[in-house]
């Protein structure tokens, strides 16, 4: 299934190990670029986060933001380190002895000092399991969003591809008449210029010019590339790079068609094809 590279997921978990809030945002990028932002106490889990994301996504810039609130911070029981408070108190009185007018320190100020509140040791195993489950849920939601968006992108590309097929079919049907009109115009100009060439030589020159302006090969290659676009869109794997290459090939054949144009109809068809290709190319840039 086609996937977009643009999506967002936010998941939250509250348990005895604390509160975890995980946000994953992805946008289009040539490769897979993972940027995790995690609190320092969970930095050891960054490798696990990267591996999980790498195993589920293949392209896109991924911003992964994780916020953690410990049980103490989220309203759990506060445990004061009495020994630490005594040390701070003795140090404060010692400093006061050097001051002329020392200001009193409140108990709330003491509570804010590092080490006064004893934190419950983190259960790393349980925390790892909780984060792993939360990350799986977030990635499931993210991928589902990317697939829904990808389905819309694929439908839009198929619509444009169908319109290209219509234009190519019309041009191919018109080419015999266009070449005959061009031949008659050339003969008319020669007559107006009162130039006379031997019939065999004249026919050779006409054939040579006709070959230079013949776009049958370009039409055939355009049709083949369009069929390949449709086939690629049915594949159940990342196809963004393949589609990007096909857009380049379609554009190249269309440019050649325009350069060989000898009729306003083929010139208009070339312009219409380039517009359709550009519309598809803009959407392909966002496909995984």
Q: pLDDT by residue (tens digit) across 226-272? A: 999 999 999 988 999 999 999 999 999 999 888 877 778 888 889 99
Contacts 24+ apart (CB under 8 A), 139-143: 139/9, 139/24, 139/52, 139/53, 139/56, 139/57, 141/9, 141/11, 142/7, 142/8, 142/9, 142/24, 142/26, 143/3, 143/7, 143/56, 143/57
DSSP type of residue 212 = H
Interaxial angle between packed helices 240-259 and 124-192, expressed in degrees from 0 to 180 and rounded to the nearest 10: 10
Question: Domains, the chain, ranges and CATH?
Answer: 7-73+124-147 (3.30.230), 79-118 (no CATH), 148-284 (no CATH)
**Across 58-75, average pLDDT:** 83
Residue of 62, 60, 63 lying closest to 30 (CA atoms):
60
- Does 191 have pLDDT greater than 70? no
> What pLDDT is stored for residue 116 in this prediction?
64
> Which of the two residues, 182 and 86, has the higher pLDDT score?
86
Percent of the chain with pLDDT over 70: 82
Q: Which pair of structure tokens corresponds to residue 99?
A: 């001051």
Phi and psi, residue 2, nearest 5°:
-70, 135
> What pLDDT is stored for residue 73 in this prediction?
56
Distance CA 155, CA 200 (A): 53
Helix (H) or strand (E) holding 57: none
Q: CB neighbours of 5 closer than 8 A, spacing ≥ 6? A: 26, 27, 28, 29, 59, 60, 146, 240, 286, 287, 288
Distance CA 56, CA 267 (A): 45
Distance CA 235, CA 238 (A): 8
- Does 210 have pLDDT greater than 70? no
First to last CA, the chain: 10
Distances in whole angstroms, Cα of residue 167 to Cα of each of 52, 227, 230: 46, 14, 16
Q: How many residues does the chain have?
A: 288
Under the banding of pLDDT at 50, 70 and 90, the label for residue 211 is low
> What pLDDT is stored for residue 60 in this prediction?
95
**Across 40-66, average pLDDT:** 93
Lowest mean pLDDT among 37-46, 59-68, 143-152: 37-46
For the chain, the average pLDDT equals 84
Residue of 206, 214, 112 lying closest to 171 (CA atoms):
214
């Amino acid at each position: 299934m086609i996937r977009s590279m643009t999506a967002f997921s936010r998941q939250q978990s509250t348990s005895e190990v604390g509160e975890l809030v995980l946000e994953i945002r992805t946008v289009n990028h040539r490769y897979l670029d993972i940027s995790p932002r995690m609190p320092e106490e969970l930095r050891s889990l960054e490798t696990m986060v990267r591996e999980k994301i790498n195993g589920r996504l293949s392209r896109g810039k991924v911003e992964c933001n994780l916020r953690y609130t410990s049980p103490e911070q989220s309203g759990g029981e506060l445990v004061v380190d009495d020994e630490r408070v005594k040390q701070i108190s003795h140090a404060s009185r010692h400093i006061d002895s050097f001051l002329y007018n020392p200001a009193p320190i409140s108990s709330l100020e003491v509570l804010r000092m590092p080490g006064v509140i004893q934190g419950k040791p983190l259960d790393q195993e349980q925390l790892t399991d909780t984060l792993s489950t939360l990350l799986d849920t977030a990635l499931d939601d993210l991928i589902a969003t990317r697939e829904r968006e990808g389905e819309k992108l694929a439908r839009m590309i198929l619509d444009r591809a169908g319109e290209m097929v219509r234009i190519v079919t019309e041009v191919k049907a018109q080419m015999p008449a266009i070449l005959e009109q061009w031949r008659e115009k050339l003969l008319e100009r020669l007559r107006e210029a009162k130039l006379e060439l031997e019939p065999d030589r004249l026919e050779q020159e006409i054939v040579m010019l006709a070959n230079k302006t013949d776009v049958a090969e370009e039409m055939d290659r355009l049709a083949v590339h369009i069929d390949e676009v449709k086939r690629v869109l049915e594949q159940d794997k990342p196809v963004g790079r393949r589609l990007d290459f096909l857009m380049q090939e379609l554009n190249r054949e269309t440019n050649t068609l325009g350069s060989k144009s000898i009729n306003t109809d083929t010139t208009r068809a070339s312009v219409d094809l380039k517009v359709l290709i550009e519309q598809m190319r803009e959407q392909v840039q966002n496909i995984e």
